[in-house]
Structure 1
């Protein structure tokens, strides 16, 4: 239906539906969370791998240019048989990265600051998930070509309080965690080629664009229009993060050495990663195609202000820097139909000298710093 000519039965149906030209879809994901009992067709890893292999072979026999994504997991016990059986036929192994209270054994009685610190460790968990998957991928040459596709990621503040109208998934704290997780995926862009936030509009509680005063079941029991603003459209703080990152001109990732304080997470449950010394700042950097602009992406995950000093080594700045800031008074701040712009990304000009003296980064906030290099005859100096 998507790619066939109008001479095929399904291509003819597509044309009859108003689109005679093929859609030319290149990326195809086989299976979605097939390991979960909530999915139609749920099965064992071995059974899925055999299905995936059969589909991939048949699809590529028709069009060898398509790209196949096979349903993966954060559990190596699922990924290993999928790679062993179907690894030669797939191009990507998918992962869904959802970060919530459950892995820490926390609940609503856990102090809010401890819950926030736990959520802010999103990149540490992602780093370990990528490491485990990469280890399996590289273990055998027949599937060492496979890369990772994070086809869903978000914070999930379970157990949440959607019945009480407190959407933790929409908080500034959630945005901080999602930004730090984006930094980790950028750092590992050698392995992670696809990163898709879940989801974009309304949908479940995590949707980053909200329409009106009634969505998912946040205000269950209330009828649409109860606020008097049923058609207000706004973005969550995480929407501001995604917009900020999407509009930066980055083509290559640069090495970064960040020296900062740390915080600890007091987890009631034993975790598979260390939580005793989590860096306050999560930092990554990139440069544009012609080498004229460096972008630093800094997430202050801590509960206190941090003064940041930059050492750009041989990169000589030209003019002032542009600072983009996403911040608020509390990590629990949200946007809503009543205050749709409470958390917004605000750009400002900051002199280079301010970074040499130490520029204050507010607690639980996200920053992008753009630093230009002097141009001579159209080439960066």
Structure 2
């Protein structure tokens, strides 16, 4: 018997306008993300500055609106001054977070120039581990002040007359983690973040700031950390961050694909904490969420133990993703869209080579991992208003979850372009799922295409030589009598595009 799911879509059932920064990403000075990733002088496809045009082209294909930089754990030991000025004068440093050597060939100005080529804004992180208030305000002055001060004139002397005008800034990284250089208690971090935020905005009142939330939901200080940090920083920041990575450690795909339910609960929990502090302070201001690290990460952990310390840009965190990973990434994207009223920024971590949708070979090609596709589809077709669909779906139980919906889905309405896009994952291991969607409210709309990502082998991967996991447009979505009907193949990611 064919399993069925039903959905009702109404134009007025709105969650929120989607902030395009929800499709952001992240490049840290880690592994081959920068050196050998976006930057490889001497590569046949490198530009005059040494940046790989083939990599930039793939990033443009993803339409990445925002890139977090330069870390990550790296930023908690980083002196930003090491990465500006004449390259030949820059120091080589022992990079303690990842036990490598940082040559500082690429720094703030080079990255800002490259990001502009890639069509992305930068979400700049400041070091609140080994540095603090002074270094943070100086970096804002260097990047954003026009001229006539020490650090703005220093930037100009380095060849950058126009200020970078960076809008979004992270106040450190994962400061709750004992692995972090300069790890702090919630109260210690809350105080320094508050004071750094205050003076950074004195330098440039137009910037937006992200306070560090917990490194992940399983941290023993979770919830109490967020409450304490927001108690200190509430009046000075716009966002609190969330970080979360998942992996199929027990090789149980039913349970693995249900992990987005945990992500959903994580988001709801942080919203509740933020609103508790809002109530406590009797504030009219609403804190939004920046999910500025999220992805699948578990394939490369054993290989990383074998890396020789103090080398430059070793192959670290190079997860090779399979088909089931792409399905979970799709579910995670849908989950964030369901919270578009509060999740305004998100960064897939990371963008190139390091737990990334794009991989490169030295002097060779750049290629797309399996997770490239759901990320690209959401970014390209998921611009507009997130709708709140009414869904009726079969459910299943797994090891850690009950009532997992077989259909994971949401929809985005772009009124300006008169487009409607349905994103859907069928979690069923054996059977296709017949989706019936009531779209009477979208009179005159036609199916443009039904994109499907499917594969008979859930462990199938892509490589530089073979793209075994890639989407096709042979989905069978069709309209009749004000309803959309589509067969969603077993274990599949689907993008159904309609337009007037």
Tell me the TM-score normalized by structure 1.
0.81
Query: CA contact under 8 A between 1:161 and 1:167: conserved in structure 2?
Result: no
Which residue number in structure 2 is paired with residue 289 of structure 1?
415
Which of 387, 400, 406 is matched with 1:280 structurally? 406
Q: Give 5+ residue unaligned stretches, structure 1.
A: 102-106, 213-223, 225-229, 268-274, 374-381
Q: Deviations over 1:195-233 (max 9, x none)?
A: 110000012xx1110002xxxxxxxxxxx7xxxxx6121
Which residue number in structure 1 is paired with residue 239 of structure 2?
92
Which residue number in structure 2 is paired with residue 316 of structure 1?
443
Find the aligned partners of 1:169 and 1:178 in 2 and give their Cα distance. 14
Structure-to-structure mapping, 1:12-161, within 5 angstroms? 12-73=153-214, 74=217, 75-101=222-248, 107=249, 110=250, 112=251, 114=252, 116-141=253-278, 142=281, 144-157=285-298
Q: Deviations over 1:20-41 (max 9, x none)?
A: 1100011111010111122221
- Structure 1 position 234, deviation (Å): 0.8
What is the count of residue pairs matched by the alignment?
A: 337
- 1:176 equivalenced with 2:327 (yes/no): yes
Find the aligned partners of 2:192 and 2:256 in 1 and give their Cα distance. 36
Which residue number in structure 2 is paired with residue 272 of structure 1?
none
Query: CA contact under 8 A between 1:175 and 1:241: conserved in structure 2?
Result: yes
Q: Deviations over 1:150-188 (max 9, x none)?
A: 011001237856479997651111111111111111111
Find the aligned partners of 1:8 and 1:168 in 2 and give their Cα distance. 45
Which of 240, 246, 251 is matched with 2:379 structurally? 246
Find the aligned partners of 2:434 and 2:414 in 1 and give their Cα distance. 26
Cα distance change of structure 1 residues 306 and 160 upon mapping to structure 2, 3 Å threshold: farther
Q: Give 5+ residue unaligned stretches, structure 2.
A: 1-141, 307-314
Which residue number in structure 2 is paired with residue 217 of structure 1?
none
Find the aligned partners of 1:294 and 1:238 in 2 and give their Cα distance. 23
Query: CA contact under 8 A between 1:211 and 1:232: conserved in structure 2?
Result: yes
- Bigger Cα displacement from structure 2, 241-250 vs 41-50: 241-250
Which of 314, 328, 347 is matched with 2:455 structurally? 328
Which residue number in structure 2 is paired with residue 209 of structure 1?
358
Which residue number in structure 1 is paired with residue 398 of structure 2?
265
Q: SS of the counterpart of 1:309?
A: strand
- Bigger Cα displacement from structure 2, 12-21 vs 280-289: 12-21
Cα distance change of structure 1 residues 60 and 244 upon mapping to structure 2, 3 Å threshold: same
- Structure 1 position 67, deviation (Å): 0.4
Structure-to-structure mapping, 1:346-365, within 5 angstroms? 346-348=472-474, 350=476, 352-353=478-479, 358-365=485-492
- Structure 1 position 90, deviation (Å): 0.9
Q: SS of the counterpart of 1:134?
A: helix
Taking CA–CA contacts closer than 8 Å with sequence separation of 6 or more, which of the two structures ends up with the larger relative contact order?
Answer: 2
Cα distance change of structure 1 residues 264 and 60 upon mapping to structure 2, 3 Å threshold: same
- Structure 1 position 266, deviation (Å): 1.7
Q: Deviations over 1:230-262 (max 9, x none)?
A: 612111111111111111153111121222222
Q: SS of the counterpart of 1:173?
A: helix
Cα distance change of structure 1 residues 289 and 36 upon mapping to structure 2, 3 Å threshold: same
Query: CA contact under 8 A between 1:30 and 1:68: conserved in structure 2?
Result: yes
Which residue number in structure 2 is paired with residue 270 of structure 1?
none
Cα distance change of structure 1 residues 301 and 167 upon mapping to structure 2, 3 Å threshold: farther
- Structure 1 position 342, deviation (Å): 1.4
CA RMSD of aligned residues (A): 2.6
- Structure 1 position 350, deviation (Å): 4.4
- Structure 1 position 54, deviation (Å): 0.4
Which residue number in structure 1 is paired with residue 497 of structure 2?
370
Find the aligned partners of 1:162 and 1:175 in 2 and give their Cα distance. 21
Find the aligned partners of 1:33 and 1:127 in 2 and give their Cα distance. 20
Q: SS of the counterpart of 2:472?
A: strand
Query: CA contact under 8 A between 1:6 and 1:12: conserved in structure 2?
Result: yes
- Structure 1 position 147, deviation (Å): 0.6
- Bigger Cα displacement from structure 2, 357-366 vs 181-190: 357-366
- Structure 1 position 76, deviation (Å): 0.5
Find the aligned partners of 2:265 and 2:447 in 1 and give their Cα distance. 38
Find the aligned partners of 1:357 and 1:292 in 2 and give their Cα distance. 17
Cα distance change of structure 1 residues 158 and 76 upon mapping to structure 2, 3 Å threshold: farther
- Bigger Cα displacement from structure 2, 290-299 vs 65-74: 290-299
